[in-house]
Amino acid sequence: MESKPFITFITPIYNEEQNIARMLANLFDVLNRHPEWAWEVVLVEDGSRDRTLEVLKAETPKYPNTRLIVHEKNQGYNRSLKDGLLAARGRYMMYIGADEEFDSTEIPNFVEILRKGDADVILGVRWQRNAYQLFRFFLSVIYIFFLNWLYKVRINDYNWSQAWSRKVFEKIELGSDSLFVLPEIIVKAIDLGFRIKEIPSNHRGRQWGKSSLNMKIMGAALWDSIKFGWLRKTRKYQPASNTPFLKPE
């Protein structure tokens, strides 16, 4: 492995005791086949109320180049993702969920594009969401159409697995405190002219446990998206910040 990783895989984790061991096994089944990627893994355990931390403490030592960050109290997905980004050392970072809905065998589709230098941001797109209940499916579709209308862009999936160049975070601030953080990254990257590439991704659905997503969380993301839309139309809006999320190297 190189002293500095090419890519860091980041996974926020909350109440996933039934999924996390399998998720890690599947992830490392892929990563161990690709030492040429010079990878590392950052896991952020967000004060789970079940046995997730116990499982992680047993499983993490089995895997190389892996760091575990532990929140003593639940701080939410947004803070967990940001802490993972702050801890990442790679030139690129990729977000992967802990719930096993993302198929880790798709990771090479993301990484090889980055290795070729063909994109700065890669978005996985769930063309089919067969595992979603009808109500959640319609909410997702409406949310995507709303954001595209609000920001005058055309993105097909805002909240799935994504990969980013470190350079994006060396330019932008992350103002959102909700699930809107992923759309915020995308829109600011577009505004700064970073190259965005969408690739198809399979949505497998959750096999075990229950999602922590609820109307309060979705409402906070919607409100943040509206506030950002207002800001983006004003002269105060500057996608490039003097105080970016990551310090330029």
Is the confidence at residue 1, as pLDDT, over 60? Answer: no
- Asked if 52 and 79 touch (Cβ cutoff 8 Å), the reply is no
Nearest CA-CA partner of 166 in 249, 239, 65: 249
Q: Hey, what amino acid is at 91?
A: R
pLDDT tens-digit series, residues 22-61: 999 999 999 999 999 999 999 999 999 999 999 999 999 9
For residue 154, what pLDDT band results from cuts at 50, 70 and 90? very high
**Which residues, in sequence order, are CB contacts of 57 under 8 Å at separation 6+?**
68
Predicted pLDDT of residue 127: 74
DSSP alpha helices (H): ranges in 45-99?
52-59, 77-87
Q: Determine the Cα–Cα distance for residues 17 and 13; give it in Å rounded to an integer.
A: 9
33 vs 26, 36, 41, 52, 155, CA distance in Å? 12, 9, 15, 27, 32
pTM: 0.92
May I ask the CATH class of domain 7-232?
Answer: alpha beta
Distance of CA 167 to the CA centre of its chain: 16
Residue ranges per domain, the chain?
Answer: 7-232
Length of the chain: 249
Percent of the chain with pLDDT over 90: 80
